[in-house]
Structure 1
């Protein structure tokens, strides 16, 4: 004799709660906490396997101006649109996370710096060439990108993020709508 209990609804609720805890409701990107956990796990995997890993930090240029000009609902739609564009160019193994506001992290596993720069450059061009129609108004924007490759001898999560963030600030300081790399020796720009 046994008792069967259907737990389908409980499992569905559990899955829904897990998605809410790990996915940014606006953009569909990973939440900051979930993304940091993903990056941390991938750093450990990369250090064990010796495979290259790169982190890109992307920031939407002059995003406050979008919100001030078109309204916050339009700004929300711009962020959704940009995340969709990014996801369309990433591999299944890569991760997109919302770090905060209009700043996003892109983790590229098994990817050397040269390839990561190509990805960032492709995303930069795609975003710059894209126009979102919102309530009949065309909205365009650009983004700046900072790229860093994991240095197995010195990096941990915090240092890798600091290096990518420093590269991002170089891109913004050099005029925005740029890709800037941290080569562990200084910076370099790709148009």
Structure 2
């Protein structure tokens, strides 16, 4: 005898009748009987293999500390670590700058980027284990920005099959005070 993973049915091998009975657990009655050949001795239920799905990832990085009043650069990379390619629907990367940072430009080969919303989109297929070309986000730190600011970016779309369907990356960035007042 074997129970289905959802516990809705029980399959019972009937060696004397050369068949398998399917019993509804809700009603405790036989709903069907299937002929299976001579003297069945056991039943096994193998769950179906999971459907392959894409799973988008995002990483965000920068080099060194930024300086108040100067431009700094972030690199944002979107990848697919799922088991299937993206499905050709729009993939959207959205960056959210913390107070103290202002976008100067946002670009990436093959990406359609809008600086005013810090959003980049594309819809070409991304195979598992690959990444799209990186996005370069140039920002200016305000003259009064100091300490650690955290920049956040999210990616969604493309048929992402994960439970949340949104991946997020954060990048804490140290802002050093300006050391040269001639740039003001």
Q: Same fold (TM over 0.5)?
A: no
TM-score under structure 2 length normalisation: 0.30
Structure with the higher strand share, 1 or 2: 2
Structure with the higher helix share, 1 or 2: 1
TM-score under structure 1 length normalisation: 0.29
Structure (1 or 2) with the larger CA radius of gyration:
2
